A and B are shown apart, each in its own frame.
Chain A
Amino acid sequence: MATDLRISNISKIYPGCIANDNVSLQFKSGKIYALLGENGAGKSTLVKILSGVISPDNGEVYLNEKNLKLSSPLDAKKNKIGMVFQHFNLFETLSVFENLSIDATEDNKSLRVKINEILKKYNFSIDLDVPVLNLSAGQKQKVEIIRCLLRSPKVLIMDEPTSVLTEQETEELFISLKKFCDEGILIIYITHKLKEVLSLCDEVAVMRKGKVVSVSQTQNERVETLANKMVGQKLAKIKKKINISTNKDEIFKVKHLNFYSDDPFETNLVNLNFSVKKGECLGIAGISGNGQNELFQILSGEIITPDTSIIFRNKEIAKLNPKQRREYLMAFSPEDRISQAAVPELKIYENVALNNFKSSNFFEKGLVNEKKIKEHSKKILSDFSVNTDNVELKSQFLSGGNLQKLILGRELITAPELLICYNPTWGLDVGAINYIHETLIKINDQEKSTILISTDTEELLKLSDRIAVIYKGKLSKIMPSEEVTPEKLGVLMGGGSID
């Protein structure tokens, strides 16, 4: 029997963010559908609504033209919607069988028979009586899939299923999913990995900032067209400033940057090597979630990695914390300006005091020198045209653009030799973006260097002298930006190769 799932005008608003904005989509069995989008695009919210974990503020879900009321995960199960989450919901110390029997309706004997049928049919090899903690991530995922199959689902939703799988396990998963699809199960596959979409799915819906921006057949798409849709700009060639840095000294040099995390939701970085010349802007492009967060934190000193060498102005700084690195005239502007670069509950002058360097004398002999901090803050507010002169104002009352100006001002007023910024214009209006771009260009004009980690290709092409792309924690070769075309960047950002 054919299945037809229809989502109609779903909206979900969280304080300060619209997670789903009037989302309408239609799915039919016999196809594998991809739901594609960057982190925070609203995919997970939509999926949680479909599986009854959260209820939408507005909108309806229809399964075979029946209006579903999904107010709990149980409702989703009853309506034969199965869901495999990115984070597994298994009891690690219980055996596979015990895990599966928890919400089963059958008695243990017939349940075992049923499970064994499924194992045989799909060629899964899992020992039912070992504790779940002994299983690999791929096997755990199979247990979750079996749990869904036991209820003979009409719809199976997979949320970022390959983020914790090996290549081999990924292939096995794809084979199983295609089989399920042939058997008439409607499959919705959530991911931000473009290649997977192209190799597995028939149709792809791209989400951005809570909205569905495109629905298309995957055969008409390529990695770069999807990448463009995901990041949101038509990658246009923009005239960038003249490349001034030739034969300049390298002031910043990173060697053997490796980062390994036990957390499967962090990206490992593999042997990154690069250097920045005096007065140069090095751009690092990539779709978010490919290791930019980790890279920024290592460059700023929030994460210290062993065996990495970072030379800055001929000094080894790899073991220094952010405060010590600032003393050597580095400055940092993180992506998250609201909860990392500044604290909304603090007053403007208190936020300025976060960049406390020796010559600032903000804190003398352990005591707060409020007068000094306030004077300094006033200067930042006027030099960087923040639209207030009240240093006692809590920074939560600043608009995003003004807050970013304040942060950049705070970081730049020390006249740093190197500024590292990550998505500096994220979420800002055009006026603020222009101001910040001009500021960044001015830094380079003054023979100071910048590293610009950004997901905005337009921005990168406009500001960088050389560009590299980060993909799955690996850095592409670094290219002079006049040789870079948006198409090349698109291919590299999607994991392709251009040689």
Chain B
Amino acid sequence: MIKIEKRNDVPMVLYFFTPFIAIILTILGGGIIFYILGFNPIEALKFYFITPISNLYGLSELLLKATPLCLIAIGLSFCFKSNNWNIGAEGQLTFGAIVGGGVALLFYNQEGFYILPLVILAGAVGGMIFALIPAILKTYFNTNEILVSLMLVYVSKLLLDYLVVGPWSNPEGFNFPETRQFSDSSRMPLLFDGLRIHAGIFLALAAVMLSWFILYKTYLGFQIKVSGLSLKTAKYAGFKGKTMILVVFMISGACAGLAGVGEITGPIGQLHRMISPDYGFTAIIVAFLGRLNPFGIIFASLVVALTYLGAETAQIFLQIPKYTGQVFQGMILFFLLASDYLLFFKVKILSLKKNELRH
């Protein structure tokens, strides 16, 4: 007979150590999958995890992909820490990109130092507004934020589709579903010649520092922490629950919007249908892998960004679909949840007793 018991005292060291166990298990699991598919697992894993970052360009690509993941995950950590399950960051990213991109398109034939800040601000506000929809529906109409935020992802994606094929499509674009190219003043400055890494990374780093400060040093952070641990206690202490829900969704939406605007003003340079390879969803894994801790999230975003790069390299060298990246991301989450379960609960196998044998 198997019996599961809650552990009373879980050491914090282990709590921050299990993500590493999850990553190691994921690599082992990946090796097994490659073996089953008929590849030499060691070589395949090398293509997946080493080759992509063995040169300067690769490292730049790693940071480029980690930037939006980190930004979104930082925002999500505010929601998740306070028991608000915003899983629509992908929608907030898309809507932020739409609003920011709209502003960039207004200035498509103009130059000026003020344009980029305006575009970035518009993106953040766009994401914030989009995140306010599930937040307001939750606080005033008792809806479930998981459903609402998820469904709004598709709303924003379809809106983007409509805009790029319809009113915003490039008049000189031969009916391709994309907008004009943004002017150089709407583009993120590149950090190095020939590499795609851009100034957006500073936004992500600023978000990390700021979120650490808010979460650990302010009254808002204290309220978020208490609400996440016990809503009953938050109510008893007299925290303004509704305001807090709105605030955490706004922070989260703004971060996702920034990530979206970072993509279109960074590597992409225009709006089209595929502005994000599901960064908004993958960032949920990043947030949890980073233990909702700002510095943990930096680390987690690098690891998960590597699965994106690895998948692309594997597609080129091993001719396996790049969707294996999602397999790896899924495995990380699976192993993380599994090791957390074993961390918080102990499984006892009891020997069968006499009376049970009788049955």
Contacts and interface: CB of A to CB of B under 8 A. Distances in A.
B235 A366 contact: no
Interface in B87-102: none
A323 B218 CA distance: 18
Interface string A350-387: 10011110000001001110000000000000000000
A60 interface: yes
Nearest to B356: A69
Contacts of B232: 336, 339-340
Interface string A329-358: 000101010011111011000100111100
Interface in B209-236: 216-222, 225-226, 229-230, 232-233, 235-236
Contact of B222 (A16, A324, A325, A363): A363
Contacts of A324: 238
A302 interface: yes
B226 to A, nearest CB: 6
Interface in B330-359: 355, 358-359
Given A15-B6, A67-B358, A346-B226, A341 B218 contact: no
- Interface of B: prevailing SS: helix
Interface string B224-263: 0110011011011111100000000000000000000000
A291 interface: no
A239 to B, nearest CB: 35
B172 interface: no
B229 A366 contact: no
B237 A356 contact: yes
A322 B216 CA distance: 24
Given A60-B355, A332-B236, A346 B229 contact: yes
B236 A366 contact: no
B233 A342 contact: yes
Give the one of B217, B218, B235, B358 with max A CB within 10 A: B235
B219 A354 contact: no
Contacts of B225: 346, 350
Contacts of A356: 237
Nearest to A355: B237
A497 B5 CA distance: 47
A326 interface: yes
B333 to A, nearest CB: 23
Nearest to B240: A321
A495 interface: no
A332 B236 CA distance: 9
A300 interface: yes
Contacts of B240: 321
Contacts of B236: 300, 302, 322, 332, 334, 340-341, 354
Contacts of B355: 60
Given A322-B238, A341-B236, A368 B226 contact: no
A368 B217 contact: yes
Contact of A368 (B5, B219, B238): B219
Contacts of A332: 236
A301 interface: yes
A324 B358 CA distance: 63
Contacts of B220: 366
Interface residues of A, number: 34
A367 B218 contact: yes
A366 B238 contact: no
A287 B238 CA distance: 28
Contact of B219 (A340, A345, A366): A366
Interface in A153-170: none
Contacts of B229: 343, 345-346
A325 B232 CA distance: 17
A15 B5 contact: yes
Nearest to A342: B233
Interface string B309-345: 0000000000000000000000000000000000000
A367 B217 contact: yes
Contacts, number: 70
Interface in A1-57: 15-16
B239 to A, nearest CB: 7
Contacts of A16: 6
Contact of A350 (B222, B238, B358): B222
B226 A354 contact: yes
A368 B235 contact: no
A326 B238 contact: yes
A64 B237 CA distance: 55
B197 to A, nearest CB: 35
Interface string B7-25: 0100000000000000000
A368 B222 contact: yes
Interface string A52-83: 00000000100000010100000000000000
Contacts of A366: 218-220
Contacts of A343: 226, 229-230, 233
Given A67-B358, A340-B230, A343-B230, A302 B222 contact: no
A367 B219 contact: yes
Interface string A382-417: 000000000000001000000000000000000000
B230 A69 contact: no
A339 B233 contact: yes
A71 to B, nearest CB: 9
Contacts of B358: 67
Contact of A341 (B8, B216, B221, B233): B233
Given A323-B238, A336-B232, A341-B236, A353 B222 contact: yes
A246 to B, nearest CB: 34
Looking at B5, B220, B230, which has the most chain A CB atoms within 10 Å of its CB? B230
A339 B230 contact: yes
A302 B222 CA distance: 19
Contacts of A396: 8
Nearest to B8: A396
Nearest to B358: A67
Nearest to A71: B359
A404 to B, nearest CB: 15
A60 B222 CA distance: 49
Contact of B218 (A15, A334, A355, A368): A368
Contacts of B226: 343, 346, 350, 354
A340 B233 CA distance: 4
Contacts of A367: 217-219
Contacts of A60: 355
A102 B104 CA distance: 60
Contacts of A341: 233, 236
Which 10 A/B pairs are nearest by Cβ-Cβ distance? A323-B238, A322-B238, A363-B219, A15-B6, A354-B237, A340-B232, A321-B238, A343-B229, A69-B359, A343-B230
Interface of A: 15-16, 60, 67, 69, 300-302, 321-326, 332, 334, 336, 339-343, 345-346, 350, 353-356, 363, 366-368, 396
Given A354-B233, A363-B218, 17 more contacts: A67-B358, A67-B359, A302-B236, A321-B240, A322-B235, A326-B238, A340-B232, A341-B233, A342-B233, A343-B229, A346-B226, A346-B229, A350-B222, A350-B226, A367-B217, A367-B218, A367-B219
Interface of B: 5-6, 8, 216-222, 225-226, 229-230, 232-233, 235-240, 355, 358-359
26 contacts: A15-B5, A15-B6, A321-B238, A322-B237, A322-B238, A323-B238, A332-B236, A336-B232, A339-B232, A339-B233, A341-B236, A342-B233, A343-B233, A346-B225, A346-B226, A346-B229, A354-B226, A354-B233, A356-B237, A366-B220, A367-B217, A367-B218, A367-B219, A368-B217, A368-B218, A396-B8
